[in-house]
Structure 1
Amino acid sequence: MARYVVQLAFDGDPRRLAARPAHREHLRALHEEGRLVKAGPWADDSGALHVYEVADEEELREILRRDPYTAVNVVVLLKEWAPIL
């Protein structure tokens, strides 16, 4: 399994707020499956950070393709992470 960090940036597009309930349901399901470790917005609501545990980048990209936020272009960074603690 590999860990990936995904950073989101919000630009005020009202489509994001419309997509938020479906996005959060998507995240809840991934967390229940054990593929999403942590997720949450920055305190100033300018974006968010998600930490995934998946087999590989291909699996993560498929997860992101199904995320309702992908349609409103909020993903800005996808990086494999190698935590030491």
Structure 2
Amino acid sequence: MIAVILAFSDDPARLELRPAHRDRAAALHEQGVLLAGGPFEDQTGALLLFSTEDMTVVEAALEDDPYYSAPGVEVLTVQPWTIATGGIPGRD
């Protein structure tokens, strides 16, 4: 899996792109590329977990969605992630 962590600022420009961004995320989920994604409760950022170990797939998804380069959105981390404890149903 690959984890992506985003940071949000108070710039409202990102909110205009959010509906299309969520549609893209839903499509990636349906394709099995995105396991889960969503904002932190305090709206300071978000976490996305991609169901792939192929960094080029994740990079392409980030490049294809204008939301990730919008004012108010910063991609902080894109890195492989491994479950050490617990599990995700269907992924064990």
Distance in 2 between residues matched to 1:25 and 1:81, nearest whole Å: 25
**Which segments of 5 or more consecutive residues in structure 1 lack a partner in the other structure?**
none
Deviation at 1:55, TM superposition (A): 4.7
Figure out how many residues of one structure are paired with residues of the other and give that number: 83
Q: Could you list the runs of 4 or more consecutive aligned residues of structure 1 that deviate by over 6 angstroms after TM superposition?
A: none
RMSD: 1.2
Report the structure, 1 or 2, having the larger strand content.
1
Q: Specify the alignment match of 1:80 in structure 2.
A: 80
SS of equivalent to 1:82: coil
Distance in 1 between residues matched to 2:34 and 2:28, nearest whole Å: 5
Instruction: Report the structure number with the largest CA radius of gyration.
Output: 2
Identity of aligned residues (%): 39
Map Cα deviations across residues 15-57 of structure 1 (whole Å, 9 max, x no partner): 1101100110010000000100011110101110000012511
TM-score (norm 1): 0.89
Q: Specify the alignment match of 1:4 in structure 2.
A: 2
TM-score (norm 2): 0.83
**Which segments of 5 or more consecutive residues in structure 2 lack a partner in the other structure?**
88-92
Moved more, 73-82 or 4-13: 73-82
Deviation at 1:68, TM superposition (A): 2.4
